[in-house]
């Protein structure tokens, strides 16, 4: 018997057919024709792309770094990207950002290599505005303390940023100061605000806690128009708009369309929903006290709340009277102790509850770390790695002063609230009437 084959490639209807014909001859009989048909679908055109996290703004343009090069304008809130044209196997690629959103930064990982089918492992991570901080990328701080802004302030307490500017709640002048970071220009954005302590921003408006006025003010950044959005009389009542009552509100942050407020004298975290002006008690109850009870919502207890910050999933609170940093899972209102112990009066570094604070006051985050101003007997800035709970002293120490320097050689005098523009950490150094920067 003799067998032979022929393979005939046929291109039709975007499918690849291979036709094999086998002729079989045996004992002189006529050949029997057997057709064997195999079907192979064309591969889709190979592409280069990947994933994106943290992109909230327009302005990101990516370059493929291939030959020929491709560019791609990425829409705000995108979670993935793909360059439009196919790329030949074996080609080199080097994805870079040729344009960034204003006052933001993006880091590209796995961005270069040799192209294979559907290379989609490139990752782009951007930072973004949340709760008055620029978060999403960890700060690379060397502990270098400088004083870039030392005039025009009278006991600054609260500080926030939109990435381009700093906004400072200046207590004794009852005003909000604006600092243009690129030029160092300091101006008064709004006057007669009324004992401003805490401050946060959504990029268009500032939200300010009036400590003595027991209310929350809103300031439109472009017009400087000041309005009261909730509160206005001392007390402890949930309610709508100005019918709600606070007692010495201090810290304030913003996420998910809600303001979260440290209602200090009531030992509570209040939530103000911007869309309907409704105020509810989110966590804690009166009286608070030194027991620092963990629990869900109102079952938890605080003592002398100061400032708070958010990573969008959790709130982190400076529970000053309990010498602790507390954590609240926003979705469940579960309150736990994140760092520190009820034994105050010290500045011991350590992990979680093994660390010690004297009077934690201000708090900010870059999404990876927390930064805490520790006052009372301390005049220091502490750093907490969120994933591990490791607490270290970033700058300052037990003695007050005005000295710039590196790490613990630098001196502060009652450093209050903090913020980050995604590059540096800024601190309202209250008694020194200045804004300090850690690089």
Q: What is the pLDDT of residue 289?
A: 73
Q: What is the pLDDT of residue 46?
A: 78
CATH classification of 130-438, choosing from 3.20.10.10, 3.40.190.10, 2.120.10.30, 3.40.50.300? Answer: 2.120.10.30
Closest CA to 103 of 164, 60, 181, 160: 164
The Cα–Cα gap between 333 and 261 comes to 14
* pLDDT-based confidence at residue 7 (cuts at 50, 70, 90): very low
Whether 170 has a pLDDT exceeding 70, the answer reads: yes
Mean pLDDT of 163-170: 97
Q: What is the pLDDT of residue 90?
A: 87
* pLDDT-based confidence at residue 174 (cuts at 50, 70, 90): very high
3-state secondary structure 63-101: ECCCCCCCEEEECCCCCEEECCCCCCCCCEEECEEEECC
Render pLDDT for 270-320 as a digit per residue (tens, 0 to 9).
999 999 999 999 999 988 777 789 999 999 999 999 999 999 999 999 999
Whether 142 has a pLDDT exceeding 60, the answer reads: yes
Q: What percent of the chain has pLDDT over 90?
A: 83
Averaged pLDDT of the chain: 90
Q: What is the pLDDT of residue 246?
A: 98
The Cα–Cα gap between 378 and 401 comes to 11
Q: What is the pLDDT of residue 23?
A: 43
Contact, 331 vs 337, CB < 8 A? no
Closest CA to 307 of 263, 367, 356, 366: 263
Q: What is the pLDDT of residue 38?
A: 41
Q: What is the pLDDT of residue 162?
A: 97
Q: What is the pLDDT of residue 108?
A: 97
Q: In sequence order, which residues have a C-beta less than 8 Å from that of residue 135 and are 6 or more positions away?
A: 127, 128, 311, 365, 366, 367, 420, 422
Mean pLDDT of 79-95: 92
* pLDDT-based confidence at residue 22 (cuts at 50, 70, 90): very low
The Cα–Cα gap between 282 and 268 comes to 8
The Cα–Cα gap between 286 and 147 comes to 40
Range with the lowest mean pLDDT among 89-93, 359-363, 404-408?
A: 89-93
Q: What is the pLDDT of residue 193?
A: 93
287 against 195, higher pLDDT: 195
Instruction: Supply φ then ψ for residue 297, to 5 degrees.
Output: 55, -125
Q: What is the pLDDT of residue 288?
A: 78
């Amino acid at each position: 018997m003799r067998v032979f084959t022929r393979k005939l490639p046929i291109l039709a209807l975007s499918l690849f057919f291979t036709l094999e014909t086998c002729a079989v001859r045996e004992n002189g009989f006529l050949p029997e024709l057997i057709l064997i048909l195999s079907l192979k679908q064309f591969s889709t055109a190979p592409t280069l792309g990947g994933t994106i996290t943290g992109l909230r703004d327009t302005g990101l343009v990516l370059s493929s770094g291939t030959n020929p090069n491709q560019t791609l304008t990425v829409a705000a809130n995108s979670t993935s990207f793909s360059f439009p044209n196919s790329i030949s196997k074996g080609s080199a690629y080097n994805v870079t950002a040729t344009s960034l959103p204003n006052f933001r930064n993006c880091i590209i990982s796995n961005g270069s290599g040799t192209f294979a089918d559907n290379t989609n492992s490139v990752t782009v991570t951007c930072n973004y505005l949340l709760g008055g901080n620029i978060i999403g990328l960890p700060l690379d701080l060397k502990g270098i303390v400088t004083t870039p802004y030392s005039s025009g302030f009278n006991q600054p307490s609260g500080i926030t940023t939109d990435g381009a500017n700093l906004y400072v709640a200046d207590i004794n002048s009852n005003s909000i100061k604006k600092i243009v970071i690129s030029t160092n220009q300091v101006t008064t954005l709004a006057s007669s605000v009324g004992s401003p302590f805490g401050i946060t921003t959504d990029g268009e408006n500032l939200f300010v806690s009036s400590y003595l006025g027991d209310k929350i003010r809103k300031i439109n950044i472009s017009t400087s128009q000041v309005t009261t959005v909730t509160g206005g009389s001392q007390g402890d009542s949930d309610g709508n708009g100005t019918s709600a009552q606070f007692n010495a509100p201090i810290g304030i942050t913003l996420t998910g369309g809600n303001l979260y407020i440290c209602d200090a004298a009531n030992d509570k975290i209040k939530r103000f929903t911007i869309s309907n002006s409704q105020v509810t008690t989110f966590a804690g109850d009166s009286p608070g006290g030194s027991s620092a009870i963990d629990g869900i919502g109102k079952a938890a207890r605080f003592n002398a709340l100061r400032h708070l910050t958010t990573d969008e999933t959790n709130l982190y609170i400076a529970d000053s009277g309990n010498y602790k940093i507390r954590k609240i899972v926003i979705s469940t209102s579960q309150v736990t102790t994140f760092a520190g112990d009820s034994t105050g009066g010290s500045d011991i570094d350590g992990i979680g509850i093994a660390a010690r604070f004297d009077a934690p006051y201000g708090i900010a985050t870059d999404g990876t770390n927390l930064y805490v101003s520790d006052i009372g007997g301390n005049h220091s800035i502490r750093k907490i790695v969120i994933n591990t709970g490791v607490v270290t002293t970033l700058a300052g120490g037990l003695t007050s002063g005005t000295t710039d320097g590196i790490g613990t050689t630098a001196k502060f005098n009652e450093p209050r609230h903090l913020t980050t523009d995604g590059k540096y950490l800024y601190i309202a150094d209250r008694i020194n009437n200045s804004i300090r920067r850690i690089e």
